[in-house]
A and B are shown apart, each in its own frame.
Chain A
């Protein structure tokens, strides 16, 4: 670069008037088969990216992203599950010595040590040796970490009730006539407390939509109860009302 006296600038700016040609360096003298990043290598990288993108789009089209029903903070019976990459931390807290009185071991000490060591790896493993086989402690600890994370994730996946999870999160679209005399009776009775405004169930009562039961069967359950949740004599009213209610519920379909 030209320095000192005799420098020319563009106008009164600090941009030198002398132009440099926009030519890439010659990498042919570099060791091995070195090539330029732009455009040679970037083109190859983009080809890898394009193949990856195809796989990514196939995944997107084949598996629609999940959406459960709208959040209902009153539903205490819901079994929660974090996204898959947090499962190992979640599973850790299920073990006796990482929960209850020892919860700090599960929430602070073990993750803190593991992630702290990961972050400070260059300062803990200061030797100049790079091959994994020549630094057995670092390699061993990382493998131990990998095995633990894999095992915990696996345990969490196999012990989770996926069928129930799918059921409890389902979006239920119920359409019914709110002016139906059956629904009016439903609201006046204690039914609504457990089975919900939209009859889609709640913490202590199942959904009444699409039960497949006949009116007589529903009348019987309303009078005699159904263990474990449904108490006997829940319905208090006339037989005529009960019949209307039962007919209304038996007709509900998804």
Chain B
């Protein structure tokens, strides 16, 4: 039955080459922990992607309850945490995932750096990877404000004050992020939009480029 559906679609859209492009690539011995245990260092990139998927899924569920305005934001998080079935798990995964993704990405970066895997011809993939790092830090910074509790508000105030010290760009960045003079209602809605739409869109684009390049070039050889 499944085979028939596949054949029906394949006849019309010729998906086999596409599927083989995605699925069919070789994994060399030196990156396979089943053959050399020390190759576990090659898992960090995959785990970063794994957590990113969890972050997207848990984030989608969080937005079912979260309300991005200063009157209801804290109450909605409190409700989600204390009343909603498994809400504490979903929020917990998003909270801890945010830290774990930084850890895994950091380890992945160190692996690539110390193996010199960023060298020709993989320069562009390294630059894209560093951009992904920055987007992740941006997601961490904007997500921190959303629960609208004390630490969220004051950490954001300090963060924007620090940004303000940068000449020329600083005040512009403040206006863009805070949406005005004070850190308040406008800031929360902006951070919500940036956290949920702008940065994830950038992240998906960059990750697509990251994976395309690694597939095109193949993984770097053994040292």
Chain A: residues with CB nearer than 8 A to chain B?
Answer: 10, 13, 15-16, 19-22, 24-25, 27, 30-38, 40-41, 44-45, 48-49, 52-53, 56-57, 59-61, 63-73, 75, 78-86, 89-90, 93, 103-104, 107-108, 115, 118-123, 125-132, 135, 138-139, 142, 146, 168-169, 171
Nearest A-chain residue to B77, judged by Cβ: A67
- Which of B18-26, B191-199, B204-212 forms part of the interface with chain A? B18-26
In Å, the complex CA distance between A177 and B36 comes to 69
Contact status A60-B89, CB under 8 Å: yes
The CA of A207 and the CA of B167, in the complex, are separated in Å by: 41
B47 to chain A: closest CB distance in Å? 6
Cβ of A60 to closest chain B Cβ, rounded Å:
4
Q: Given A15-B13, A169-B151, A130–B116 Cβ distance below 8 Å?
A: yes
Bound form: Cα–Cα A179–B34 in Å: 71
- A41-B32, A60-B96 known; A168-B150 Cβ under 8 A: yes
Known: A20-B16, A57-B89, A64-B81. 5 other contacts (CB 8 A): A48-B46, A83-B155, A122-B118, A135-B116, A169-B149
| Closest chain B residue to A123, Cβ basis | B123
CB distance from A108 to the nearest CB of B (A): 6
Q: Is B183 an interface residue (CB 8 A)?
A: yes
CB neighbours of A130 from chain B (8 A): 115-117, 119, 220, 223
Contacts A73-B153, A103-B165: A60 and B92 contacting too (C-beta < 8 A)? yes
Q: Does B100 contact A (CB under 8 A)?
A: yes
Partner of A128, one of B24, B120, B122, B130: B120
Chain B residues lying within 8 Å of A45, measured Cβ to Cβ, are 43, 46
Cross-chain pairs A/B with CB under 8 angstroms, 16 sampled:
A22-B16, A30-B26, A56-B51, A64-B92, A65-B88, A65-B91, A70-B150, A71-B74, A75-B150, A83-B140, A86-B141, A115-B134, A126-B120, A128-B119, A130-B115, A130-B220
Shortest CB distance B163–A (Å): 8
Q: Tell me the dominant secondary structure on chain B's binding face.
A: helix
> Is A24 a contact partner of B158 (Cβ separation < 8 A)?
no
- Determine whether B200 belongs to the interface, using a CB cutoff of 8 Å to chain A: no
B43 cross-chain contacts in A, Cβ below 8 A: 45, 48
A68 CB to nearest B CB, Å: 4
| B14, A65: Cβ atoms closer than 8 Å | no
- In this complex, what residue of A is CB-closest to B131? A119
Indicate if the CB atoms of B154 and A80 lie closer than 8 Å: yes
Which residues from chain B contact A67 at a C-beta distance below 8 Å? 77-78, 81, 147, 149
CB–CB B114/A81 < 8 A = no
A66 to B30, CA, bound (A): 41
Size bracket of the B interface: 35 or more
- Minimal Cβ-Cβ distance residue in A for B170: A107
Contact B24 A36, beta carbon cutoff 8 Å: yes
**Interchain CB contact under 8 A, B93 and A83:** no
Asked whether A25 lies within 8 Å of B24 as measured between CB atoms, the reply is yes
A78 close to B47 (CB less than 8 A) = no
Report Cα–Cα, A103/B54, bound state, in Å.
Answer: 38
Q: A80-B158, A131-B223 are in contact. Are A63 and B116 (CB under 8 A)?
A: no
Interface pair A52/B50, CB less than 8 Å apart: yes
Q: Give bound CA distance, A37 to B163, whole Å.
A: 44
Q: List the A residue with the shortest CB-CB distance to B130.
A: A119
Chain B residues whose CB sits within 8 angstroms of the CB of A118 once the complex forms: 130
**Complex Cα distance A123/B127, Å?**
10
B26: chain A residues within 8 A (beta carbon): 25, 27, 30, 34-37
How far, in angstroms, from A45 to B39 measured CA to CA in the complex?
12
Contact between chains at B14 and A15 (CB < 8 Å)? yes
Set of chain A residues within 8 Å of B149, measured between Cβ atoms = 67-71, 169
B24 touching A24, Cβ below 8 Å: yes
Of B19, B30, B150, the residue contacting A169 (CB under 8 A) is: B150
B28 interfacial contact with A, CB 8 Å: yes
Query: How would residues 33 to 77 of chain B score, 1 for a CB under 8 Å from any chain A CB and 0 otherwise?
Result: 111000010010011001100100000000000000010001101
Nearest chain A residue, comparing its CB with the CB of B88: A64
